[in-house]
Structure 1
Amino acid sequence: MYGRYKSGEPIRKLALAYRINRSNVDYLMKLINHHGIEILDNTSKTHYDPEWKKQIIEEVIIGEKSVYQTSIKHGLSSPGVLCNWIKQYKTAGYVIVEKRKGRPSTMKKPTKKYENMTDAEKIKYLENKNLYLELENDYLKKLDAVIQKRKQQPPKK
């Protein structure tokens, strides 16, 4: 398919010939152009480091880069992967949540009440809560700045 694309065949025709969505063909061609044909050699499931995920997510959220371009830059299999990461990141309170392999446990772990925690547990709990609140505050400040910036722009005709 890539050879046909390089020889000048339009993406629309390739999508029809291979019965693939045109946007998927376009993404695949851009991915190969950026990383080379070797990007397709990865046949095993890829595990992504949580810090690397966070860096990419923040590149989109804080750096205001597009999901599409960021996905191509980092060689993700589709932009949907990054969209899912961002959705999970926001849902989990701006913390990277790793998927666990295997069947989830059916037994629920009892959660300790704050009053029953040891001093070390209380400190850890408060540090995590403080970090969450700091990240939330930073996000809201940046969101407010973006909104203010958009309000100052003249309306489009």
Structure 2
Amino acid sequence: MAKYSLEFKLKIVQEHLEEKRGINCLAKKYGFNCNTQIRKWIHAYNELGEEGLLRSRKCRNYSVQFKLDAIELYLTTELSYQEVANLLKMNNPPLIANWLKTYRKLGIDGLSKQKGRPPTMSKKKRNEIQPLPSEQSQLDKLEKENRMLKIENAYLKELRRLRLEDEQKMNESRESFTASEDTFD
């Protein structure tokens, strides 16, 4: 069960927005040691409405590309984790911080690693002939390498596309500059 109910969070947020009560005043009134939690609720409510205050009950699986986009957005802008999470419609900003930490430590491999307990084998697979452990590890290694090459390929394609766009913009600006020089001659 969540520590704070949706009704309680809404009550505090409404009190702040409608009655113009300060965050420090609300923190003191409701017995919070600091105002950080209330500030997060207000920010989440302003960005996502009531959904921002709901506790997410479903485990979301984010793709590696989504994680990379979130990290890139955080690193290339001066947005906080909270603001990036709001832009991406997530209500768990620390998740972005964890992705960044993992990415810095393990690279893309860390972002693609499956978490939790592996799924149990279906009955159909139990009846199939299983490869030898050495063959299986080699197969896993090749699949991982294939996945990494696909990610790298997608990254390089996007980088190339962006570079070509920049070059095209530069050529257009040169042409317009040259055309403006010709009119002065």
TM-score by length of 1: 0.58
Assess if the C-alpha contact under 8 Å between 2:41 and 2:53 holds in 1: no
- Structure with more helix by fraction: 2
Structure of larger gyration radius: 2
Moved over 4 A (4+): 109-112
Structure 1: gaps of 5 or more residues: 139-157
Write the distance in 1 (CA, Å) between the matches of 2:92 and 2:54: 15
* CA-to-aligned-CA distance 1:76-105 (integer Å, 9 cap, x gap): 33432211111112222134234422279x
Q: Which has the higher contact order (CA 8 A, sep 6+)?
A: 1
Q: How does 1:1-157 map to 2 (within 5 A)?
A: 1-6=12-17, 7-16=19-28, 17-19=30-32, 21-50=34-63, 51-63=65-77, 65-95=79-109, 96-102=111-117, 121=142, 124=145, 128=149, 131=152
For 2:24, the aligned partner's letter is: R
Write the distance in 2 (CA, Å) between the matches of 1:32 and 1:23: 14
Aligned residues: 123
How far residue 36 of structure 1 moved from its aligned partner, in angstroms, is 0.7
Assess if the C-alpha contact under 8 Å between 1:88 and 1:97 holds in 2: no
TM-score by length of 2: 0.51
- Cα RMSD, aligned residues only: 3.6
Structure 2: gaps of 5 or more residues: 1-11, 120-132, 160-185
| Identical-pair percentage | 17
